[in-house]
Amino acid sequence: MTQLKSLRGMVDLLPDALQRWQAVEAVAREHFRRSGFGEIRTPMLETTELFCRGIGEATDVVGKEMYTFQDRGDRSCTLRPEGTASVVRAALEHGLLSQGPQRLWYCGPMFRYERPQAGRQRQFHQIGVEWLGAASPRSDVEVIALAWDLLAQLGVGGLELELNSLGSVEDRQAYRSALVGWLQDRRDALDDDSRSRLESNPLRILDSKNLDTQGLLESAPRLIDALGSESRERFEHVQQGLQALGIPFRLNPRLVRGLDYYGHTAFEITSDQLGAQATVCGGGRYNGLVEQLGGPATPAIGWALGLERLILVLESAASQDPGGLAARLTASQVPDLFVVNRGEQAEAAALGLVRSLRLAGLSVDLDGSGAGFAKQFKRADRSGARWVLVLGDDEACRGEVRLKPLQTEGEERCLPLGDHRAVVQALMDP
């Protein structure tokens, strides 16, 4: 019988890897708590209309990458390709905006049908924040600082913030006309993908990865030059706020992001930990999305970071600096104690002792194989535990256990079998 395997781009998270993921999530959770953001969890499956209206039908995400199907009720359903539209839908459905501005964060799987590669899968995971009802340039600065400080706290080095303004709807419409005219005159020099975007989503051409197109765009009209006075003043306030916080940034006039709902501030944070600059976080302002999904006109800003890419960056940072923050965060967890035990009486006593030690707060691995002591000691060494507790029938008859150091020099101790507190004290004060 053929062995079943996971679908391409759908990756299992095994215990060792998942420890690193959970460590990152724990840091993020505490970071958001201190910043007044509450967690929200939305369904992975939504109506297709949500993303068509929210993201934009001309985007690659909606046009090429969504997992969409008809359910048994003949409704078009889609596995969420991103988190923002779902968060806004939930806020509207449950009347959260009537309670004032909402600071929300989420974490979970997203789905896009694209070519799998390192740090990018078809089922991928994001951590993101959405601040609904935030209007001032200062809120842009706060949200960017939230992302910057989280990445620094996780131990990500080589950070660079790229910043742009997409302006108002009117600014973009004027710029779109100028850009399309300029590109039409050079249509033959564009790559095939850019030519296909020329009518549907020309601003995305600015983000082309084709080297020839990138070279051509060096002399293209710039969006920053098309900004009206209000948009320009707003963008200046954002830059001044970042400078006041000591967060360095680089203006990138070709940064447009991939979703239609963005306007005004757009940003990406990259890291050079993987050799070349790799994007680990991106976001921006989306003042029109709430209204577009049926709610009142509501300013909003947010960002998301991809966990797969972030974990790769952290692992690289850990290898470059074994004593750094990233190394401590991604290190494999080891038990406080490993218990080897053999014999009917010893195994029964070991189970009760281990339970008491775990309830006392210790992490304890109990060997349940019944194998010889030599094999059990090999497993104890592989576990990385600093101490091993030995319990055979002889020790059980004497009412004692032997505590031996595994990773450090030290003397073996004999402790009372029935007194788990003595074992806890010995481990705390060796």
Q: Name the more confident of 345 and 176.
A: 345
Q: What is the pLDDT of residue 260?
A: 65
Q: What is the pLDDT of residue 219?
A: 83
User: Same domain for 22 and 100?
Assistant: yes
Distance CA 66, CA 63 (A): 7
Share of the chain above pLDDT 70, in %: 99
Q: Is residue 218 one of the residues assigned to a domain?
A: no
Look at 129-138, 205-214, 283-292 and tell me which has the smallest mean pLDDT: 205-214
Average pLDDT, the chain: 91
Q: Is residue 194 one of the residues assigned to a domain?
A: no
Q: What is the pLDDT of residue 284?
A: 95
Look at 9-13, 277-281, 308-312, 355-359 and tell me which has the smallest mean pLDDT: 277-281
Q: What is the pLDDT of residue 298?
A: 96
Domain boundary pick from 298, 328, 358: 328
Q: What is the pLDDT of residue 258?
A: 60
Most confident by average pLDDT, 200-204, 222-226, 399-403: 399-403
User: Same domain for 250 and 379?
Assistant: no
Give the CATH number, domain containing residue 343. Answer: 3.40.50.800
- Spatial contact of 270 and 162, defined as CB atoms under 8 Å apart: yes
Across residues 361-380, what is the average pLDDT? Answer: 93
The parent domain of residue 359 ranges over 337-428
Alpha carbons within 13 A on the beta-carbon side of 12 = 6
Residue 392 φ/ψ, nearest 5 degrees? -110, 180
Q: Report how many domains make up the chain.
A: 2
Q: What is the pLDDT of residue 104?
A: 98
User: Same domain for 252 and 384?
Assistant: no
User: Same domain for 37 and 157?
Assistant: yes
User: Same domain for 318 and 356?
Assistant: no
Distance CA 328, CA 318 (A): 8
Q: Is residue 40 one of the residues assigned to a domain?
A: yes
Q: Is residue 178 one of the residues assigned to a domain?
A: no
Q: Is residue 238 one of the residues assigned to a domain?
A: yes
User: Same domain for 134 and 246?
Assistant: yes
Give the CATH number, domain containing residue 290. Answer: 3.30.930.10
- Which residues, including other chains, have CB under 8 Å from residue 39's CB and lie 6 or more apart? 29, 32, 104, 105, 106, 107
Domain boundary pick from 279, 307, 328: 328
Share of the chain above pLDDT 90, in %: 68
Q: What is the pLDDT of residue 113?
A: 95
User: Same domain for 400 and 313?
Assistant: no
Q: What is the pLDDT of residue 430?
A: 55
DSSP single-letter state for residue 40: -
User: Same domain for 274 and 148?
Assistant: yes
User: Same domain for 306 and 232?
Assistant: yes
pLDDT digits (tens, 9 = 90+) for 71-95: 999 999 999 999 999 999 999 999 9
User: Same domain for 145 and 275?
Assistant: yes
Q: What is the pLDDT of residue 259?
A: 59
